[in-house]
Amino acid sequence: MPIFKDNQQGIYLKKGDTGNIGISGIPTDKSYSVYMSIYNEDTNTILKEILMSNYNQPEGTGSFIIDTTISDSLPVGEWVYAIKICASGSEDTIIPKTRVEDGVIVNYPAPKFTVD
């Protein structure tokens, strides 16, 4: 079965499934290392961190390759994920979004990552 992405950036997969998770909107000003962290909010722990394999810096796009080893290693449940970019000693989270509005920091909720 393929990996699904919904309109709210949520991801769904079954253990053992394989596929690619495409991401766009990565800044194009530097050549970044891009990571997806699958996170358990209840225990405040990262379950898995995956390095983007197919990164196209001039277009700001890429994909995370999910093979059987990765999907089998994830526990069944509803988790969240984040995307971070790293370059020149800096690390910035781009998903979930955070912005400043009228001097107040607004944190958007992290998108779901469901393993069935």
3 state DSSP class of 36: strand
pTM: predicted TM-score of the whole model, two decimal places: 0.90
3-class DSSP state of 88: coil
Give the pLDDT confidence of 11-64 residue by residue, as tens digits. Answer: 999 999 999 999 999 999 999 999 999 999 999 999 999 999 989 999 999 999
* Contact criterion met (CB below 8 Å) for 52 and 23: yes
**DSSP H or E stretch at residue 69:** helix 68-73
Q: How far is CA 89 from the centre of its chain?
A: 20
